[in-house]
Amino acid sequence: MASILPYLPRAAFDENATRLLAAAFEAVCKEMHDTGQSKLVHEIIAKRIVAAASSGERDPIRLRDAGLAALGLKNQAL
């Protein structure tokens, strides 16, 4: 399974926030059944999750929804 870690800015988030972002990313991949998605798709998802977290979002479901919204799979803009 893919990881959000390569897409995180260095030292941008503490350990707890990094865990939340990773969990949100993994939840999006799971919902997409992570069937060989390209690096570009993973990058798009990760950037949307990171943007939401950078704005202060820490709710794991809302972070997941932000990742899904990046793919047009969720009608939620953060």
**Domains identified in the chain, total number:** 1
Q: Indicate whether 50 belongs to any domain.
A: yes
Residue 52: predicted pLDDT: 96
> Which residues form the domain of 50?
36-78
DSSP conformation letters of 8-75: SPTT-S-HHHHHHHHHHHHHHHHHTTT-S--HHHHHHHHHHHHHHHHTT---HHHHHHHHHHTTTSS-
Output the pLDDT for position 77.
Answer: 46
- 7-63 pLDDT tens trace: 898 878 999 999 999 999 999 988 887 667 788 999 999 999 999 999 999 999 999
Examine residue 7 and state whether it is found in any structural domain, yes or no: no
pLDDT at 76 exceeding the cut of 60: no
- Alpha-carbon distance 63 to 19, whole Å? 12
Residue 78 pLDDT level (bands cut at 50, 70, 90):
very low
Which are the contacts of 67, defined by CB distance < 8 A and separation ≥ 6?
24, 25, 27, 28, 45, 46, 48, 49
Q: What pLDDT score was predicted for residue 74? A: 73
- Whether 63 is covered by a domain: the verdict is yes
